Amino acid sequence: MPHEAPILTVSQLTTAIKHSLESTFSLVWLQGEVSNCKVQSSGHIYFSLKDAHAQVAAVMFRGDASSLKMIPKDGDQVIVQGQLNVYPPTGKYQIVVRELRLAGLGELLLKLEELKIKLHKKGWFKAEHKKALPKFPKRIGVVTSPTGAVIQDILNILTRRATGFHLILNPVKVQGPGAAQEIAKAIQDFNTFNLVDVMIVGRGGGSIEDLWAFNEEIVAEAIFNSQIPVISAVGHETDHCIADYVADVRAPTPSAAAEIVITENAQQLHHFQQILRRLDHSMRQTLHHHRLCLKTILKQPLLASPYAILGSWMQKADEFRQELDQSTFRLLKQHRFALESREKILQTLKPTMQIFHLKEKLVNLRKAIDFSVLQKLNELRKAIQLKDEKILMDQRWKVKLEHLRELLKNKEDALKSINPRNLLTKGYTILFSEKDQSVISSVHMLKKDQKIRMLLSDGEALAQINEIYSK
């Protein structure tokens, strides 16, 4: 007869399973979504942890639940630490949670709450550390993104409500990796170089992840250590972050921060407007009184016509106007004459005119040389005819004549060598500006695509500058 397995009671089987599970899974970490969460009056919390394919019952007794920063709710993603337990009356297994923390957003909120407690203990939130804002700030610093709507909102408020201020933007990232470090450094830079009288630190609204840079301890420390008053303007009216608690003033929005900065200016402006209204009223009363007095005076016979008093003055004004017109005409005539004289001088200084005058001088010099040579030749010829017997003397005159001819030829060659036209035949060119006919002597007087006139030995040519190369 085969050996039969022992017959167990339900309690025995449940107890065996209980010992097996609890010894095997004495400590487990588990992540899942909370569902069916119930908090009993005893302080115990009962819920289920589930994922897409399974779920497990969980219980957290009052002793462990009392240490929770916040009670989990249905839908929260949590990470728990505990041990498996079998509850004999129902025969179901469950996890007895000893530690619970929120995952994802919940973890961020928990981290934020812990930092709040830490900074509160340091006293960074106390009113005694808050600095007063300057009444009339001339230099306003802004620490925010240069591309967001925040800086535009602040500028719109300041330019519409105030004048005589200087705004300095220190551009930073306001979310993502490295944003907190950039914000803290910008605040420190404003203090290091004493650039502003007050600063606005902020950004637009967003999720807690978007605003997290302003929940970092490094930013809170930079704000607390700032010697310059700081206005925190992070998010919208319902958003709060660590920077709001540490800052000297918290503004619900960036636009409100701009309003706060110029509050004293606005109050002064309102005061000035009231003074202006009173002054306007006083002026109107004064004008009304003097208008009545004037009407009384105008009834006097002497003042019946304005010409009785103003006639002589009006005539003098006409005389002064006539003298002024004549003086102005003489002055313009003198300036016109001086201008025409300078134009003539400029005409004579033009290279083309100088070349023309040099040509005339060259022709006259050639004529004078020819005349002088002919005169000398005639004199020599007469001397030779009168003194035929003096052959030796004749030879001397011939030598002298040859010398003079050679000298004349040298003079003529020298004149030809300095003639600008002769220089042009050797490949040289004179450049003139087409616009004002001035001589171009340097590449620095040229511009790309400029039109110029080129003077050559046998004519002129027009050209356009394509490239310029300077030594």
Q: Note the pLDDT tens digit of each residue in 176-206.
A: 899 999 999 999 999 999 999 999 999 988 7
Strands (E), 204-358: 230-234, 249-250
The confidence band for 302, taking pLDDT boundaries of 50, 70 and 90, is low
pTM check: above 0.75: no
Q: Are residues 74 and 19 in the same domain?
A: yes
Mean pLDDT, all residues of the chain: 83
Q: Are residues 130 and 247 in the same domain?
A: yes
Where is the domain boundary, 248, 268, 288?
Answer: 268
Domain containing 57: what range? 10-103
SS3 state at 41: coil
Whether residue 443 lies inside any domain: the answer is yes
The confidence band for 218, taking pLDDT boundaries of 50, 70 and 90, is very high
pLDDT tens for 229-256 read 999 998 765 557 899 999 999 998 898 8
The better pLDDT of the pair 463, 25 is held by 463
Where is the domain boundary, 268, 287, 321?
Answer: 268
Whether residue 375 lies inside any domain: the answer is no
Closest CA to 227 of 132, 115, 128: 132
The confidence band for 1, taking pLDDT boundaries of 50, 70 and 90, is very low
> How many domains would you assign to the chain?
3
Judge whether 41 and 106 are in contact, CB under 8 Å: no
Q: What is the rounded CA–CA span in Å between residue 274 and residue 280?
A: 10
Whether residue 218 lies inside any domain: the answer is yes
pLDDT tens for 279-300 read 888 888 888 888 888 877 767 6
Q: Are residues 87 and 126 in the same domain?
A: no
pLDDT for res 438: 81
Q: Are residues 156 and 95 in the same domain?
A: no
SS3 state at 449: coil
Percent of the chain with pLDDT over 90: 21
Whether residue 98 lies inside any domain: the answer is yes
Where is the domain boundary, 34, 68, 103?
Answer: 103
As beta bridge partners, residue 55 has 50
Pairing assessment for the beta strands 92-102 and 166-171 based on DSSP bridges: unpaired
pLDDT tens for 76-98 read 888 888 888 888 888 788 899 99
pLDDT for res 20: 80
pLDDT tens for 103-122 read 765 566 667 778 888 888 99
